[in-house]
Every structure is written in C-alpha cells, then in structure tokens.
Amino acid sequence: MTERNLKVVLGSRPEGKPTVDNFRVEEGPLPVAAEGQVLVRNQWLSIDPYMRGRMMDIRTYAEPVALGDVMVGDTAGVVVASRHPDFAPGDPVAAYLGWQRFGVAEGGALRRVDPRIPLSVSLGAAGMPGVTAWVGLLDLCQPKAGETVVVSAASGGVGSVAGQLARIAGCRVVGIAGGADKCRHVTEALGFDACLDYRAEDFRQQLKAAVPKGIDCIFDNVGGPVLEALIGRINPFARVTLCGAISEVDNPSPTGLRRLLPLIVNRVKLQGFIVGDHLERWPVAIADLSGHVAAGRIRYHETLAEGLEAAPQALLDLLAGRSLGKQLVRIP
C-alpha cells in the first residue's frame, strides 16, 4: 500500500479560548519534491505559544493560518527524497513544515541537525526557543558576572535555556514559575539559584528576599502582574527583554505595566524583540547551544504528546501551563 500523508488543518477560528474542535485531521497524497526541493518525513513537531496567534484572523508580525490550511510549526525529521545537491535520503534535518507527517521544503530552508544532539532537541534548547533565549539574553540583556537575572516562565522551552545561559555567564539566576513542582525542577534539575511561584500569596515578599541586590536583567515571557512585580525591584541601568506576554493571551482586559516611574528613575532599557528578525545570529547561537547541550551544561526536559491527532490538545496544554520544558509531538 502506498504511504499517505497525515495532517492537522485549522478547521475554524476560536471564539474565546481555543478548543480541539478548532482543528481537523485529514489524510492526503504525499507531496512531491520539485527541482531544488527535499521531501522530509517529520518525526517531531514543536508546539509553541505563537501558534495561538496564528489561529486568529489578525495580522501581527506574521500572517494567520487560513481556514483549511495545515497548521504551521517547526518540525524535525529525516530526508526521504532529495532534488537538492546538499541533502541525501537519511539526513536528519529541521524545517518549518507544519502539523503533518510529510512535507516538502526548499533545500535552502532546511537546517542540518548537529549529530551530537538528539533530533528533538533541534526544536527546543538548540532550536527556535533556544535561539530566542540566546539572542534575548546574551545580545539584548547582556548579563555580566555577579548580576541578578530574573526569568519568568522559567521551566518552559525559552525560559529554561535563558536561565541556564545566565548561570553560565556567572549571574545569580531567579526563576518564576507556576507551582511547587515546576519550581523544584527549575532549581534542582536546571540549577537556578532560586525559583518563586507567582501564584503564592506572598509572591512579592518572596521576590524581595530572593533578589537582595535588586534585579539587573529581566527576561520576561509572561507580562502582566509578574512583570509589574519585577519592575518594582529593578536596579539602575537594568535591561528588560520583553520576549513574550502569555498572560495576555485569552485575557480580554490584560493588566499592563502601571509602574513606570522605577523605569525612568533607574534609566532602564526595555527591548521587545522577535527572534525571526535576528536570522544572522541563528547559526552561531545554534552551534553554541548544541555545544552546551552536548557537554551537559544546558539541560532540557521534554513533554511528549503521541501522534499528530494529539497535537491540538498539546497546544491547549502548553497554553494552560500543563507542560514542563519543551512541548513536542512525536509523529510515528
């Protein structure tokens, strides 16, 4: 029997919170590689918060997914057929082929995976989330040894790497995460100096105690009340990397920053950024991150969903904070 493609398409746009019914699983023929292209069998799909935005009919920094189209996403897999001179069947590659088992990519859009790391890690610590942490922390926050760095969503794909890079840079690193289990993971497995549960009633008092010398760098993934609390402990000439604002997703009236005076009197630099604007930094970032992972200096945890049919629920789990580390889908 000839093999068929399996894909997950966007069936409808969410009204309010997304549900699994917004997606549809479909079968179809295998795509065919044209001259210069490569056919890849995906083994891993990365699930990321930006996918929530792509479900909406709103243009932000990227186009929305059209109804009936395959959901977008980073993938890692193995070359099946190649009409590009740089790739041969069996090569492990990372690409942006979306929620499907087979996909065709231009050869120039494929990334060869470093053989020192597992294929799945090319979607996590040594993939887009890792590069986001690397650019946002090292290029934008520019931490110096001895400084205090605070990372929110610290147990997640981006935050876990940002905090470990700050530790490697010789900083005191404090993570913020939801719940005792995530915090234990952040200190015990990832080696942060401290981790605070932002849902604790005395969160602000705990924060004060955890950053006795104030905060020199905030790597913020969540926005809202957490960022506001961190700004209250900011040091002169601190840097704030605004990486994400996941607390605003599904929140019809998000609470923003109401404390601007500490930013002004401390001459703080806030920088929003999108990792896709820094393509020239990807090769050096991925090489550096792969080296750290291979040497065990950066550790990672993966939450795995089995099969493409499980991808919609995996996205809902990620957004609700039910996954730990990098959320992936294994594609059999």
Binding residues for ligand NAP, per CB under 6 A? 48-50, 129, 132, 153, 155-159, 177-178, 182, 221-222, 226, 243-244, 246-247, 273-275, 318, 321, 323
Return d(Cα 34, Cα 20) in angstroms, integer. 34
Nearer to ligand NAP (CB atom), residue 53 or residue 191:
53
Nearer to ligand NAP (CB atom), residue 170 or residue 271:
271
The phi and psi torsions of 147 (rounded to 5 degrees) equal: -80, 165
Return d(Cα 285, Cα 143) in angstroms, integer. 16
Nearer to ligand NAP (CB atom), residue 275 or residue 293:
275
Q: Which amino acid is at 271?
A: Q
Q: At its nearest, how many Å lie between ligand NAP and the CB of residue 86?
A: 27
Q: Measured on CA atoms in the order 93, 98, 100, 102, is the torsion positive or negative?
A: negative
Q: At its nearest, how many Å lie between ligand NAP and the CB of residue 14?
A: 16
- Give the SS3 label for residue 281: helix
Nearer to ligand NAP (CB atom), residue 118 or residue 321:
321
Neighbours of 3 (CB within 10 A): 11
Q: Where are the alpha helices (DSSP H) in 135-259?
A: 157-168, 180-184, 203-210, 224-231
Instruction: Find tokens 């602000």 and name the residue.
Output: 204
Q: At its nearest, how many Å lie between ligand NAP and the CB of residue 52?
A: 8
Q: At its nearest, how many Å lie between ligand NAP and the CB of residue 159?
A: 5
Nearer to ligand NAP (CB atom), residue 177 or residue 211:
177
Nearer to ligand NAP (CB atom), residue 191 or residue 203:
203
Q: At its nearest, how many Å lie between ligand NAP and the CB of residue 319?
A: 6
Nearer to ligand NAP (CB atom), residue 104 or residue 246:
246
* Element spanning 286, H or E: helix 282-294
Q: At its nearest, how many Å lie between ligand NAP and the CB of residue 326?
A: 7
Q: Kind of pairing, strands 148-152 and 172-177?
A: parallel
Terminal-residue alpha carbon distance, the chain: 17
Neighbours of 116 (CB within 10 A): 12
Q: At its nearest, how many Å lie between ligand NAP and the CB of residue 139?
A: 12
